[in-house]
Amino acid sequence: MKRGDRSRGHADTRPRGKATANPRIRATARLLELLGLPSNCGCSVTDSQRILDAIRRLVRLLRLSDQVARNELGLSSAQLFVLHEVAKTPELSLKELAERTRTDQSSVSVVVTRLCDAGLLVRERAEDDARRLVIKPTRAGRSAIRKAPRVAQQELVDLLERMTEADRKQFAGYLVTIVDAMDRSGEAPPMFFEDERSGRD
């Protein structure tokens, strides 16, 4: 029997086409879908493309939300997000506000300063403890909130909090691994688009 004929009776077990996608990529795509950001494309796409498409859509939604806030109120979406959170619980400390907005204290402090300069927030001593500095909305700040749209950052936080703790922890691990590989600066990230020129600067 010829050498070529010997293989005819055996199934070819060699892999064909693209290799199976990395489990981490599949898991990250699934978690992005939990955020309500699946790919709109009905065609067959790779998991990597699904992830990138979801990130593109998320960035677009956040940017559009920022543009609406700037056009309607002259505030960035980050400033509006902070204003909303302070209005919910007047007399928040900077630490408490950072926890509410899921932001580094130094980053949220920049936003608070801009809102204080705009006359929308004020820093005062707490009524029950003069050693404690708290943040309050001014009359102008409360007025701005009453006509302010809800920003996409608030929606994103709500969606993340609705995920199970296990899914959220896994998603955070994968996403941080990707970002850490790309950004080695070690700097605290600013709030979304707050490093761009503010409408009230």
| Structural domains present in the chain | 46-182 (1.10.10.10)
Spell out the long-range contacts of 94-101 with Cβ–Cβ below 8 A and sequence spacing 24 or more.
94/133, 94/135, 97/135, 101/153, 101/157, 101/191
> Which residues, including other chains, have CB under 8 Å from residue 63's CB and lie 6 or more apart?
193
Tokens representing 59?
């960035």
Nearest-angstrom CA–CA distance, 155 and 161? 10
pLDDT value of residue 10: 47
pLDDT per residue of the chain (201 residues) written in tens, 0 to 9 = 444 444 444 444 444 444 445 555 655 665 566 555 554 555 567 888 988 999 999 999 999 999 998 988 899 999 999 999 999 887 899 999 999 999 999 999 999 999 999 999 999 988 777 778 899 999 999 999 888 888 899 999 999 999 999 999 999 999 999 999 998 887 888 888 886 554 444
pLDDT value of residue 7: 43
pLDDT value of residue 198: 47
Across 36-64, b (16+ Cβ under 10 Å) vs e yields ebebeeeeeeebeebbebbeebbeeebee
Nearest-angstrom CA–CA distance, 34 and 174? 15
pLDDT value of residue 23: 55
Q: What angle do CA 170, 174, 175 make, to 5 degrees?
A: 115
Q: What's phi and psi for 91, nearest 5 deg?
A: 70, 50
pLDDT value of residue 91: 84
Cα R_g (the chain), whole angstroms: 24
pLDDT value of residue 48: 87
